[in-house]
Amino acid sequence: MASAASYLSAVSQADARARAHGTTPTSTPALSLSSSITSSSEDTVLDESEDYADGLSFPRNPPTSEQVFDTLHSEFGHCANDNYRYTSMHPQGAEIKPWEEKEPPYYILITTYLSYIFLICLGHMRDFLGKRFRSQFYRHLLPYDGHAPLNSDFDSFYTRRLKARIDDCFSYPVTGVPGRTIALLDRYSLDHNLTQILTGGTTRALNISSYNYLGFAQARGGVADAVEEGLRRYGVSTCGTRLEGGTSELHHTAEALVASFVGQEDALISSMGFATNSTIIPALVNKGCLVISDELNHASIRFGVRLSGANVRMFKHNDMDALEGLLREVISQGQPKTHRPWKKILIIVEGLYSMEGTMVNLLGLLQLKKKYKFYLFVDEAHSIGALGPHGRGVADYFNVSPRSIDILMGTFTKSFGAAGGYVSGNKALIDRLRLRGHGGPYAESISPPVLIQILASMASIMGVGPAALPSAPSLKHSTRSSDSTITLRQDMAEQYKYPGPAAPSQLPAWMDLPLNLRDGSQASRACGASPSTRATSHAGSRSSASSRTDTMAVFARMMRTRATPIVVVVVAYPATPLVTSRVRFCLSAAHTKEDIDLVLRACDEIGDVLDLKHHPDTADASSSRFLFRDESDGKTTAQCMVVVTAEFAATPRGVCGRIVNALDEPGASLSPSPQAAWRARLFLFVGFALMAGGLAGSVSVLVLKYLLHAYAEQYLYYGYANVAQNVALMLSAVILWISQSSGSEYEYNLSI
Q: Within positions 82 to 141, which residues make up the interface with other proteins, using CB under 8 A? A: 140
Interaction between residue 8 and other proteins (CB under 8 A): no
297-336: contacts with other proteins (CB under 8 A): 298-300, 302-303, 305-307, 309, 311-314, 327-328, 331-333, 336
Chain-centre distance of CA 156, in angstroms?
25
The stretch near other proteins (CB under 8 A) out of 127-135, 223-231, 545-553, 671-679 is 223-231
The helix/strand/coil state of 58 is coil
Interaction between residue 59 and other proteins (CB under 8 A): no
Interaction between residue 441 and other proteins (CB under 8 A): yes
Interaction between residue 239 and other proteins (CB under 8 A): yes
Q: Are 582 and 540 contacting, i.e. CB atoms less than 8 angstroms apart?
A: no
Within 8 A by CB and 6+ apart from 517, the residues are 221, 222, 223, 456, 459, 460, 464, 523
- The Cα 182–Cα 541 span in angstroms is 18
Interaction between residue 237 and other proteins (CB under 8 A): yes
Within 8 A by CB and 6+ apart from 136, the residues are none
Interaction between residue 341 and other proteins (CB under 8 A): yes
- The Cα 306–Cα 613 span in angstroms is 39
Report in angstroms how near the CB of residue 371 gets to other proteins at its nearest.
Answer: 7
Report in angstroms how near the CB of residue 91 gets to other proteins at its nearest.
Answer: 31
Report in angstroms how near the CB of residue 234 gets to other proteins at its nearest.
Answer: 5
Q: Are 634 and 83 contacting, i.e. CB atoms less than 8 angstroms apart?
A: yes
Site size toward other proteins, by CB under 8 A: 151
- The Cα 492–Cα 605 span in angstroms is 45
- The Cα 276–Cα 420 span in angstroms is 8
Interaction between residue 488 and other proteins (CB under 8 A): no
Report in angstroms how near the CB of residue 670 gets to other proteins at its nearest.
Answer: 9
In the DSSP assignment, the letter for residue 517 is H
582 - beta bridge partners? 571
Q: Are 219 and 75 contacting, i.e. CB atoms less than 8 angstroms apart?
A: yes
Applying CB under 8 A, which of residues 151, 199, 484, 675 lies at the interface with other proteins?
A: 151
Applying CB under 8 A, which of residues 13, 74, 293, 537 lies at the interface with other proteins?
A: 293
Within 8 A by CB and 6+ apart from 97, the residues are none
Bond before 531 cis per omega within 30 degrees: no
Q: Kindly tell me which of 33 and 194 has the beta carbon lying closer to other proteins.
A: 194
How far apart are the two ends of the chain, measured CA to CA in Å? 41
396-425: contacts with other proteins (CB under 8 A): 406-407, 411-414, 416-419, 425
Interaction between residue 504 and other proteins (CB under 8 A): no
The helix/strand/coil state of 645 is helix
Report in angstroms how near the CB of residue 333 gets to other proteins at its nearest.
Answer: 7
Report in angstroms how near the CB of residue 77 gets to other proteins at its nearest.
Answer: 15
Report in angstroms how near the CB of residue 208 gets to other proteins at its nearest.
Answer: 10
- The Cα 551–Cα 580 span in angstroms is 8
- Reference 386, options 357, 423, 361; nearest CA is 357
Give the per-residue contact string, 446-475, with other proteins (x = CB under 8 A; - = no).
xx-xx--x----------------------
Report in angstroms how near the CB of residue 314 gets to other proteins at its nearest.
Answer: 7
Q: Kindly tell me which of 550 and 665 has the beta carbon lying closer to other proteins.
A: 665
529-568: contacts with other proteins (CB under 8 A): 567
Applying CB under 8 A, which of residues 24, 44, 136, 714 lies at the interface with other proteins?
A: 44
Applying CB under 8 A, which of residues 58, 157, 234, 585 lies at the interface with other proteins?
A: 234
Interaction between residue 274 and other proteins (CB under 8 A): yes
Applying CB under 8 A, which of residues 97, 132, 134, 337 lies at the interface with other proteins?
A: 337
Interaction between residue 575 and other proteins (CB under 8 A): yes
Report in angstroms how near the CB of residue 43 gets to other proteins at its nearest.
Answer: 9
Burial code (b: 16+ CB inside 10 Å, e: under 16) for 603-619 equals: bbebbeebebbbbeebe
Report in angstroms how near the CB of residue 443 gets to other proteins at its nearest.
Answer: 4
Dihedral angle computed from the Cα positions of residues 345, 350, 356 and 362, in that order, rounded to the nearest 10 degrees:
80
- The Cα 735–Cα 122 span in angstroms is 11
The stretch near other proteins (CB under 8 A) out of 226-234, 256-264, 538-546, 632-640 is 226-234
The stretch near other proteins (CB under 8 A) out of 102-110, 119-127, 228-236, 535-543 is 228-236
Q: Give the start-end residues of each E strand in 465-564.
A: none
- Distances in Å between the Cα of 393 and the Cα atoms of 84, 272, 572 are 21, 19, 27
Q: Kindly tell me which of 228 and 633 has the beta carbon lying closer to other proteins.
A: 228
Interaction between residue 578 and other proteins (CB under 8 A): no
Interaction between residue 255 and other proteins (CB under 8 A): no
- The Cα 558–Cα 416 span in angstroms is 30
Bond before 574 cis per omega within 30 degrees: yes
601-630: contacts with other proteins (CB under 8 A): none
Report in angstroms how near the CB of residue 404 gets to other proteins at its nearest.
Answer: 14
153-182: contacts with other proteins (CB under 8 A): 155-156, 159, 163, 170-179, 182
Dihedral sign from CA coordinates of 402, 404, 410, 415:
negative
Interaction between residue 246 and other proteins (CB under 8 A): yes
Helix intervals (H) in 611-712: 621-629, 634-646, 674-701
Applying CB under 8 A, which of residues 45, 502, 535, 599 lies at the interface with other proteins?
A: 45
368-397: contacts with other proteins (CB under 8 A): 371-375
Report in angstroms how near the CB of residue 692 gets to other proteins at its nearest.
Answer: 11
Applying CB under 8 A, which of residues 252, 340, 489, 497 lies at the interface with other proteins?
A: 252
Q: Kindly tell me which of 39 and 248 has the beta carbon lying closer to other proteins.
A: 248
Report in angstroms how near the CB of residue 334 gets to other proteins at its nearest.
Answer: 8
- The Cα 336–Cα 252 span in angstroms is 42
Count of C-beta atoms within a 10 Å radius of residue 121: 16
Dihedral sign from CA coordinates of 248, 249, 250, 253:
positive
Report in angstroms how near the CB of residue 557 gets to other proteins at its nearest.
Answer: 14
